[in-house]
Amino acid sequence: MNYAEITGWGSYVPPLLMTNDDMSKIVDTSDEWIYSRSGIKQRHYTHVSTGKMAWLACERALASAGVSAEEIDLIILGSTTPEEICPNTASYIKNELGATKASAFDLNSACTSWFYGVNVASDMIKAGSIKKALVVGSERISLAMDWQKRESCFLFGDGAGAVLLEESQTPAGLLSGHMSCVPDSRECLHLPSWGMSPLHFTDDLFISLNFEGQEIFKSAVKGMSDSIAQVLEKEGLTPNDIDLFIPHQANFRIIQSLAKRLDFPMEKVVVRIDEYANTSAASIPLAMCDALQDGTIKPGMTILTATFGAGLTCGAGVIKWGERVEPIGISDKNIPEFEGTVFDLMADSFVHYGVDAEHLLTKA
């Protein structure tokens, strides 16, 4: 039987930080207000595109596996913020990597996009249609933040995380996955006009997130719990059999609620929302890469993951880690840093959303 083992991993986190104290200089908020409601202390903002971040995460994943780009059969980009709708951004990543034989497509199910991509690629490897696939989650959601909305502008950050999946005869990788979509819940988490319609009718683009926190909380916890129950039952497992839980990093209260519902100890839960905020499709692979780097993930671990996103899409999976937790190699590729402050980077966004932040800009 074929399995789709995770043999490589890599991430890119932009160096520019927007702390909660920085945020309080832009909107009427404070570190205490943000942290008490979300668990977020800061977020990273990028000066390069979704595709560029994804490329570097993939370069690092290939190096960690000791695999060349020419060996890759498939590249899936999970993202809500592709550079273009046509052509897809995955084809840009393919070309930058030099993955000459790889097919490439984008997958958008919002914050669940990376996990859905892992499901798709794993099933293709198990079916024997491909042997090696890169699945990367990359987001530049900082561009879509409405600075007039105090309740939501602090929630998101940028970044990218990737994994390499390889055909293996060893039971490893995503053993079981479940994907779902909560009925009649689209409007509670929504970016109107983030697409082809009605953009072709107007030049006045004003993206503003519709965010109904209580409804999202309720639907997310139930949706993820239902998906977790499905995959645990399929594998004949209970929460006691799980060594580590890596949930989507959207809100610390949601993570706590889900762990409590499972009777799962928080010391076995990977939490990185304080560092990165919600990086949407990148949140689980970023947390996974950190857990590998700091030694939290051990050989042979049984790992549970769960996620939700706009739609409301939901999912969960049981991942069996292989024997290797150290990278075979390290990529020397990088992205030049931005010359300026985070306020310089976001100046156009502040102006667009009617925020007076000129006093924060670096003076030449």
Decide if 364 is inside a domain: no
Decide if 138 is inside a domain: yes
pLDDT tens string 270-289: 999 999 999 999 999 999 99
Q: Which residues of 214-249 are buried (b: 16+ CB within 10 A; e: fewer)?
A: eebbbbbbbbbbebbebbbeebebebeebebbbbbb
Please give the pLDDT value at position 183: 72
Active site residue 314: no
- Among 47, 178, 278, 314, the one annotated catalytic: 278
Per-residue pLDDT at 133 exceeds 90:
yes
Active site residue 278: yes
Q: Name, in order, each residue with C-beta under 8 angstroms of 287's C-beta and a sequence gap of 6 or more.
A: 161, 246, 249, 270, 271, 272
pLDDT tens string 108-125: 988 999 999 999 999 999
Decide if 360 is inside a domain: no
Decide if 316 is inside a domain: yes
Q: Which residue has the higher pLDDT, 104 or 209?
A: 104
In degrees, rounded to 5, the angle at the alpha carbon of residue 266 between the alpha carbons of residues 263 and 269 is 105
| Domain range enclosing 29 | 3-355
Q: Is the dihedral of CA 16, 21, 27, 29 positive or negative?
A: positive
Per-residue pLDDT at 148 exceeds 80:
yes
Please give the pLDDT value at position 184: 61
Residue pair 165/4 in contact by the 8 Å Cβ criterion: yes
Q: Which residue has the higher pLDDT, 318 or 201?
A: 318
Cis omega (within 30 of 0) for bond into 198:
yes
Sort residue 25 into left (φ over 0), alpha (ψ -120 to 50) or beta. Answer: alpha
First-last CA distance in the chain: 63
- Residue 225: pLDDT band with limits 50, 70, 90: very high
pTM above 0.95?
no
Please give the pLDDT value at position 364: 40
- Among 44, 58, 111, 251, the one annotated catalytic: 111
Q: What secondary structure letter does DSSP report for 336?
A: P
Residue pair 128/5 in contact by the 8 Å Cβ criterion: no
Please give the pLDDT value at position 162: 98
Please give the pLDDT value at position 358: 72
* Mean per-residue pLDDT, 195-224: 63
* Mean per-residue pLDDT, 144-173: 92
Structure tokens that stand for 361 in this block: 């800009």
Per-residue pLDDT at 228 exceeds 50:
yes
- Among 44, 47, 178, 248, the one annotated catalytic: 248
Q: Is the dihedral of CA 353, 354, 359, 364 positive or negative?
A: positive
Decide if 363 is inside a domain: no
Domain harbouring 339, CATH code: 3.40.47.10
Per-residue pLDDT at 348 exceeds 70:
yes
Q: Is the dihedral of CA 10, 194, 115, 291 positive or negative?
A: positive
Please give the pLDDT value at position 209: 57
Please give the pLDDT value at position 201: 47
Per-residue pLDDT at 128 exceeds 90:
yes
Active site residue 248: yes
Q: What secondary structure letter does DSSP report for 269?
A: B
Please give the pLDDT value at position 85: 82
- What is the three-class DSSP state of 32? helix
Residue pair 285/163 in contact by the 8 Å Cβ criterion: yes
Task: Output the DSSP codes for 48-113.
Answer: S-HHHHHHHHHHHHHHHHT--GGG--EEEEE-SS-S-SSS-HHHHHHHHHT-TT-EEEEE-BTBTH
Structure tokens that stand for 77 in this block: 């980009």
Please give the pLDDT value at position 221: 86
Please give the pLDDT value at position 352: 81
* Mean per-residue pLDDT, 82-96: 93
Please give the pLDDT value at position 151: 83
Q: In terms of Cα–Cα distance, which of 41, 18, 21 is closest to 252?
A: 41
Q: Is the dihedral of CA 227, 231, 236, 242 positive or negative?
A: negative
Per-residue pLDDT at 237 exceeds 70:
yes
Structure tokens that stand for 174 in this block: 């995503």
Decide if 171 is inside a domain: yes
Decide if 221 is inside a domain: yes
Per-residue pLDDT at 78 exceeds 80:
yes
Please give the pLDDT value at position 195: 61
Residues facing 76 on adjacent strands: 105, 135
Decide if 362 is inside a domain: no
Q: Which residue has the tokens 């989650």?
A: 137
Q: Which residue has the tokens 């990088």?
A: 334
The tally of domains found in the chain comes to: 1
Q: In terms of Cα–Cα distance, which of 86, 81, 67, 155 is closest to 114?
A: 81
